[in-house]
Each structure stands twice: as structure tokens, then as C-alpha cells.
Amino acid sequence: MLWQPINLTEVCPANTQLTACSNFGYVYLSLLVHLFGDSEDRRIQQKLHIQEETFEKEEYDFIVVGAGAAGCVIANRLSAVKHWKVLLLEAGGEQPDVTLVPGLSTSLIGSSIDWSYKTEPNGKSCLARREQRCGWPRGKVMGGSSSINSMVYIRGNRLDYDGWAALGNEGWSYEEVLPYFRKSEDNLDLEGLNCKYHGVGGEQPVSRYLYIDKPNIIMTQAFNQGGLPILDYNGPEQVGAMPAQAVTKDGIRVSTNKAFIQPIRYKRKNLTVKVKAEVFGILINDDNVAYGVNYLKNGKVYTAFAKKEVIVSAGTINSPKLLMLSGIGPKEHLLELNITVKQDLPVGENLQDHVTFNGLIVALPNQTATLIAQDEILDEIKCYANMKVKRGPMSADGPANNIAFIKTEPDLPAPDVQFHIGHLYLDDYVREPQIADELMIVPTPYYDTLLVRAMNLVPKSRGKLLLNPADPYGKPLLYANYLDDPTDVIPILKAVKFAISLENTTAFISNGARYDRTPLAGCTDYEWGTDEYFLCLARLYTSATHHQAGTCKMGPHWDPKAVVDPKLRVYGVPGLRVIDASIMPLVVRGNTNAPSIMIGEKGVAMVLEYWLNKSHG
């Protein structure tokens, strides 16, 4: 019998510490609890007999809000200065061990370690989703989204950072940010030999997956036979294809929590980490200087004071939300919510994300499909759990291992489309296509169908984030505004034609792979393969790629949309910086995890330079 899903909301105890329970995560809870346990941090706490944190005198040199891709880096670097006291606050809990299994990444979506955000309808996209809202998973856990994402390590293109610098952001050109990419990287593959572009010996492991299945090989060969060279997309050129570089080592996920915080958390006495501590306000005095935060933990409100700086690294959604709750944001919006305005800034604007769609389906024949019987999947999970160096299907993230970049016009200066390969169980998709984000999720290595998604890397549409008038402290209103600019679909349609041409490659033909030409519900009035059909899919089956950026835009003082300056200081509020993906003026051409780590490195370097020079001056 093939894999039969179990809805974890029906079997997961309400008080369980394992946070892989979700509406759409389908795994066997009891097996995972037995095999993977709860959390490495909690086991260390028990071994060292660490008690609950005290709250007597909460005064620190620095307070870092958010333990995500940037926040973990910042807390690590600041606490390396032994005479500084650093507080790292994370709204989520400890990182459960189940997050370490690459093959279970999709099972984390919708779980209690996911903020489970959804976009607001705009009438132009996400039309086949429930209430016309696309899902935006974001990590609510130590490590943030680096603990629940697909682990791909992509830096973006040289032109992205040179473009930031050209906008007036001094110090952010490609040559200037490259050292910060290398600083934290520990490249475990051949790319590590190229010391110009890669680092070795940093905290963040980067490696290719130890397991690559046949469909991945087919897609890599097809891209190559379609004209794309095999190359290092984090090297000098980006147009091409390659098995993914990922934040993994020995077959497990290495989040920024595991890379930057766990090795030092119980060794550095000057670093305090508090989980399930949600910051809801930045303290700002009459001189408009930030001097601390208010946060909620265990149902009680606490105050922590910062002698030097408050650094907000809560991510593209929660950083602007926190600023606005603290009186920093668009004046009219804040006044509507009776929030005292501390600084009138365009917080929440400039929201960007790469956009694509589901529906370009590659059907795999039985001898190529990786879907196997239920008992075989359970055996693979058990086998993986017992390995010292994790190998086999569960050590990889299925078809997300396949990455390709193209230019849809030859004269473009850089790629404008990235191919992201997804997976699904075809029968379920055909049965209920209207919930295409909420498919039966089996472990990612097991599937009989590929989704070829062409992402627009340079979207022109801009969205915004607003506080929710019904509950300003709750989930904000997220206006992604996908496909508002009608030209955003043009690169996608051109890339789809390239993708379809791969059906003529030897890789497809010799392995019996083919595109399923059955029109999906809602688009049956159009002929499969036409621009009209794929435009219909783009509007109905819009797919977010979770590369949100830009809501606390970095820019020079003359930029009317800038929230932070090139040193990431919030305009008009001394003692406050934002250091995460929200500062991107333009979203990079690629996934945002690696750039967020770099932003953390470069941002904290500027903090260190300022305060160390000040103390020595």
C-alpha cells in the first residue's frame, strides 16, 4: 500500500513539545518523536541543569530581536566581545530535532514553528487559493526560517549588490559584500577550493546533498542539454544549472541556530538567549533614542534595557510590524490605530517577493518516480535516524535540489528567471487543484510528479505591510500585490517556453518523462501550451517562493522610501538598527537565506566597528 497521510492535527497532543504538528504536514508523529526526540538545546539544558532565566535586572549592552538567519549571526559576533552583555530574544521555541531532517522540510509548513502568514487578495493572483490568499510560511523558532526552509544556498547576482550601491548605499557593492559571504561560509565541496568566491572554516556549512535521485539527474541533464552549462552559481557566472548548494552537513540541516548559536550558547556567559519571548515594543525616550524593549514571555510582560543598541532582526514581516507598533512608520497609518508617532517613515512599503505559478507538471513513469510503499518509507526514516553520517533519500530535499538560471532575452545583463523544481503526488493535485499550496505532503524524496516553476527574479510589482486594525499585535495585513504590474508575467511566460522545450532533450525522452497536458480546473477554456493558458495558471495557481524582502528599505538620506541608512541605522531613532532581509532595496536574484546571513555579517561588522572604535577613542 502506498503512503497514507495522517493529519497531525488529529493525532498531535495539544501540549506536545514536538512542533511538527500541522494542518498540512503529513508524517507519523509517534515515529518522529521516538526517532528524533525534541531539541538538542533542551537536552543540553537538562544535562547542565540550567534553570529558567531570571528577570531581576535586565540590562544589556545589546538586545537582538529575532534569532533567524541574521539575528543568530549578530548575537554570535557581538558576544565574542567578552565585556559586552548580549540578549537574544526569539518569539518561537527551541529548534526541534525533526527540523534537521532535510526530507521532512515540507512537513514543517503550517506547524507551530511556522508563523503561517497569508497574503491579502488583490484580484490578480492566488485566485485558486483559499480566499484567494497565498501562504507565506516563516520560521517561528530558533534559527527562524533557516530552520524550516528548503536549505538552498544562493547569494544572488553581482548586479544585485552593485545595483544597491548605485542607489546610494555606500559599502554594499558586490566586491564589498563578498568578503562577508566568505567569512561565515564553510564550503565542504570542490567550490571551497575557489577562495575568491568561497570561504572555508566559517560557522555555516555549505555542501551539496549526499543523495541525488534519478529525477534530479534527469532535470540537470535536461537543463544542460537545453543549453545551460553546469557551473557554480555562487561563482563568477550565474546563467546555468547545478545541483543545489545547501546549508547542510553530513546529511542534516544546519540552520543559523545550529551553526552560530548552539556551539556558544552555554559557553559564553555574556550571552543570554530567551525563547518564546515575543517583543511587542521598542522603548524610545523623549530624545527619540531607543533604549530597550518590552516583551511577552509565559503570559507576563518584561522589560529589558540596552546601554548601546537595540538591533531588530525579526525578518521582512515582523521587523516592520515591531517598528510600527513602537511608533515608527507611516504617520497616517499609525494615527488611525492611535499609536503615538515617534518617527514618520515608510515602514512596510517596498514589499517584494519572487513570483511563479504551479501547474507545469512533469509526469514521471513508474521506473523513474520515487514514490514507494508506506513500509519502505518508514524503513528509510528509521535507517536515516540510525546513521552517523546521514545518507539516503531523507538526507536530501527531493527535487528542490535542482537549480537553474536563465536570461529570457540574450542582451539582459543578468538572469531574470530562476527555475525551482517542486514535487507533489499527482492524484491529489488532480483531485483538489484549488488547494495547490495544501497538497498531501509526503516526505520530499517521495513523489511521482515534478512541478517546474519559473520564478521572476526582477519583479516590478510592489506590495506593502500594514498593522491589522482589528488586532495590531496580531498577524499584519500582507499585500503581496503579485502580478499587479502586468509585465511581471512576461519573463515567466518566456521561461515556460524554454522549460517545455526540454521535453525534446535526450534526458526526457530516454527516461519517459513528459509534461502532463491535462488543463487544470479554472483554465480549461484555454488550450494547454498557449500563453493564455499559462497566464490563467499564473493568476489562479500563483505560487509564492518565500523570498520576501524590502519592508525596511535601506537607502541614502535623500531616498524618500528609505527606513534605514547604509549602516542600517533607523532614520531619526539613534540606538536602533534593522539588520535582516527587510533592508534590501531590491530583492536579490535568488533565494534570500544566504544574503540574510551576509547582511547579518556586514551589519554587525558596522556595529562592532562603531562601538570598538568609540571605546578606544
Q: Which residues are catalytic?
A: 547
Say if residue 150 carries a ligand binding annotation: yes
Kindly provide the b/e burial profile for residues 549-574, where b requires at least 16 CB atoms within 10 angstroms of the residue's own CB: bbbbbbbeeebeebbbbbbbbbbebe
- Cβ-Cβ contacts under 8 Å for 468 (sequence gap 6 or more): 474, 475, 476, 477
How many CB atoms neighbour CB 333 within 10 A?
A: 17
Strand duo 355-357 + 542-544: pairing: antiparallel
As a three-state string, the secondary structure of 212-243 is CCHHHHHHHHHHHHCCCCECCCCCCCCCEEEE
Q: Contact, 540 vs 433, CB < 8 A?
A: no
Q: Contact, 453 vs 419, CB < 8 A?
A: yes
- The label of the residue with cell 503570559 reads 299
Residue 260, classed as helix, strand or coil, is: helix
Question: Concatenated DSSP letters for 151-184?
Answer: -B-----HHHHHHHHHTT-TT-SHHHHHHHHHHH
The cell for 437 is 499550496
Say if residue 157 carries a ligand binding annotation: no
Say if residue 11 carries a ligand binding annotation: no
- The label of the residue with cell 510600527 reads 324
Say if residue 194 carries a ligand binding annotation: no
Residue 369, classed as helix, strand or coil, is: coil
Give CA–CA dist 298/320, Å, rounded. 24
Amino acid in position 576: L
Say if residue 141 carries a ligand binding annotation: yes
The cell for 540 is 489562479
- Cβ-Cβ contacts under 8 Å for 31 (sequence gap 6 or more): 378, 381, 382
Closest CA to 365 of 445, 440, 450: 450
Closest CA to 132 of 526, 482, 576: 482
Q: Contact, 419 vs 495, CB < 8 A?
A: yes
- The label of the residue with cell 516592520 reads 320
Q: Is the dihedral of CA 475, 479, 483, 488 positive or negative?
A: negative
Say if residue 27 carries a ligand binding annotation: no
Q: Contact, 126 vs 132, CB < 8 A?
A: yes
CA 317 to chain centre: 12
Q: Contact, 515 vs 362, CB < 8 A?
A: yes
For 215, phi then psi, to 5°, come to: -60, -35
- Binding-site residue ranges: 141, 149-152, 279
- Binding-site residue ranges for FAD: 141, 149-152, 279
